[in-house]
Structure 1
Amino acid sequence: MDSIQIGEIKIYWLRGGYTHFDGGAMFGVVPKPLWTKKYPANEKNQLANVTDPMFFKYLGKNYLIDSGLGNNRLTDKQKRNYGVTEESYVLENLAELGVAPEDIDYVLMTHLHFDHVLGLTGVSKEGYYSIFPNAEIWTSEIEWDEMRHPNIRSKATYWQENWQAIEGQVRTFSVEKQFSDAVKMTHTGGHSAGHSVVWFDSNDEKAIHMADIFPTFAHQNVLWVTAYDDYPMTSISAKQAIFKQTFGKNYWFLSYHDARFRAVKIAENGEIESELKIEHRN
């Protein structure tokens, strides 16, 4: 498994699934000749995207960030539509680390779109069940409200079967949730109304996971947002604020979706100055 050390925190990427999303949707109004210089497309004009959760342990607690595609949660038609070529090995990866599903204390959900939330729930003959039954599942209050009451647009990704089995485990925050001296979540909106990011600060080493307002490292131009973003101007504003705070200040940016890099550091001028490539997905 690929990993990165942020102060006292070692973060592992788990193999949560592999998708291929439409390139036009991933880059919105940005012309294809521009974005293909940054991120190549396949013959179907699709971009390879991993859906790889992060696991870390801190102060005796086990954390996950998002949950991957899960297993047996998508129909064959959905797999074709989303270009899914691999489902989840999250539980196998956790077992390699000596962690059982029951051992997870916190799941930090940046948002609850299907490609982030499917891995929270399994399905059996008896119905749906929680994969991480002892975990507190944290997301923003806005995100949780929309998950249960989607609008005409968001109902395509907020599915009832993705929240009913975990409803009793969900905890919410409004603006910010501090989990320890080193880990916090903050609400940004943008990609979804309730979208959040995760910050790390340990022994003067820093990182941020911006989730889907920075889905690949080709999106470091603040104006490059996806067509999946419900509130693109909010995404742009959030990126502007976060980039001003982090560019050139020795932050690692962590990724859930980028199929080439796990993490990068970005200079003040917006250029990538350090990178951690994907080496292992097993």
Structure 2
Amino acid sequence: MRTLTSLLGNSQRLDGGAMFGNAPRALWSRWIAPDDQNRIPLACRCLLVRDEGRILLFETGIGAFFEPALRARYGVVEPEHVLLEELATAGVDPADIDTVVLSHLHFDHAGGLVTAWREGEPLALVFSRARFVVSRAAWERARAPHPRDRASYIPAINELLAASGRLDVVDPEADAEAAARALGPGYRFHLSHGHTPGLMLTEVEMPAGPVVFCADLIPGRPWVHLPITMGYDRYPELLIDEKRALLEDLAGRGGRLLYTHDAEVALSGLGRDERGRFRAVDEHPAVVALAT
């Protein structure tokens, strides 16, 4: 049997204007209230999948690798490694994880791969036996970033992954069976380039309909609305086209969305309003051993 459980990584508070691109504050502040520094609360949510004796982890959150000054700069709330605490609560040791799937390697999605900051101590991978799956385009971008997004990557994490001997770089555009080869039957990769090259969304087949871990293509419920994008997105118009294609496909198949950055809702269904616009429905603040 396959079960899904949402886990929290460390949370952030980031500038609301940056998170909503060209949407005005008068609009986005109705959806998420900013603090006195114009920041909004964001989760860094992960997905744990237990699948016939295997344990898969999708993303690792931002983690706690930043030194205190950088932790404050990037709005990381908790000093401790929250994902490790969440795994322990779920009865999982980091050494139990068979596969870690990374949608991309921006630090708010991959930082939980490594140990928490300790003065004078080097970072180390916390998953001692897991294979790490990332798309070829995302890996190449992480190794040679553009000046616009260079600060989103941590070279030490790239070096640790490369040296691990357990990095599995896949190319879903060239290999339609990439997900099956990497994860087994019942999984599908969707590749997107609007946020960053090679953003890889994983679709998990479930009895009641597929669940898509939608990463930064759709960070949370407000971004289900097609025109809403982030200031961090590389090509917003392309992202909107990619989002439309995914949502129209999922709407026809009873698909559900697992959100990385929504501070209040982990999973929702997909519906349309009276004007035909996509919207989140059937919202769940957390997912615990979902098997349907």
The reply on whether 1:194 has 2:198 as its aligned counterpart is yes
**CA-based RMSD:** 1.9
SS at match of 2:241: helix
- Deviation string, structure 1 residues 199-220 (Cα, Å, up to 9, x no partner): 0112242211111110111011
CA distance in 2, matches of 1:152, 1:191: 15
CA distance in 2, matches of 1:37, 1:9: 37
The reply on whether 1:85 has 2:82 as its aligned counterpart is no
Alignment counterpart, residue 177 of structure 1, candidates 176, 179, 204: 179
Aligned to 2:12: 19
State the AA in 2 paired with 1:132: F
Contact 1:102/1:132, CA 8 A, preserved across alignment: yes
The reply on whether 1:246 has 2:254 as its aligned counterpart is no
State the AA in 1 paired with 2:267: A
Q: How does 1:217-232 map onto structure 2 within 5 Å?
A: 217-232=221-236
- Deviation string, structure 1 residues 70-102 (Cα, Å, up to 9, x no partner): 23x112232222222114322222223332211
Gaps of 5+ in 2: 173-177
SS at match of 1:62: strand
State the AA in 1 paired with 2:68: D
SS at match of 2:179: strand
The reply on whether 1:274 has 2:285 as its aligned counterpart is no
Per the TM alignment, residue 62 of structure 1 is displaced from its structure 2 partner at its CA by: 0.7
Question: If the length of structure 2 is used for normalisation, what is the TM-score?
Answer: 0.87
Per the TM alignment, residue 225 of structure 1 is displaced from its structure 2 partner at its CA by: 0.6
Per the TM alignment, residue 248 of structure 1 is displaced from its structure 2 partner at its CA by: 5.9
State the AA in 1 paired with 2:250: T
Q: How does 1:114-125 map onto structure 2 within 5 Å?
A: 114-122=107-115
CA distance in 2, matches of 1:96, 1:278: 14
SS at match of 1:202: coil
Alignment counterpart, residue 111 of structure 1, candidates 100, 104, 110: 104
CA distance in 1, matches of 2:215, 2:90: 24
State the AA in 2 paired with 1:128: L
Give structure 1 regions of 4+ aligned residues with deviation exceeding 3 angstroms: 123-126
CA distance in 2, matches of 1:46, 1:137: 32
CA distance in 1, matches of 2:8, 2:225: 28
Aligned to 2:67: 75
Contact 1:26/1:227, CA 8 A, preserved across alignment: yes
In terms of mean alpha carbon deviation, does 264-273 or 156-165 score higher? Answer: 264-273
Cα–Cα, structure 1 residues 208 and 216, in superposed 2: closer, same or farther, change >3 Å? same
Per the TM alignment, residue 185 of structure 1 is displaced from its structure 2 partner at its CA by: 2.2
- Deviation string, structure 1 residues 220-273 (Cα, Å, up to 9, x no partner): 121211001112222111101001111364222101110011111121432333
Aligned to 2:175: none
Alignment counterpart, residue 96 of structure 1, candidates 85, 89, 93: 89
Contact 1:68/1:88, CA 8 A, preserved across alignment: no
Gaps of 5+ in 1: 1-7
- Deviation string, structure 1 residues 5-53 (Cα, Å, up to 9, x no partner): xxx4322222311101110000000111111222222221111001121
The reply on whether 1:32 has 2:25 as its aligned counterpart is yes
- Deviation string, structure 1 residues 112-145 (Cα, Å, up to 9, x no partner): 0011111112266562321112111111101111
CA distance in 1, matches of 2:121, 2:82: 23
Residues paired across the two proteins, number: 272
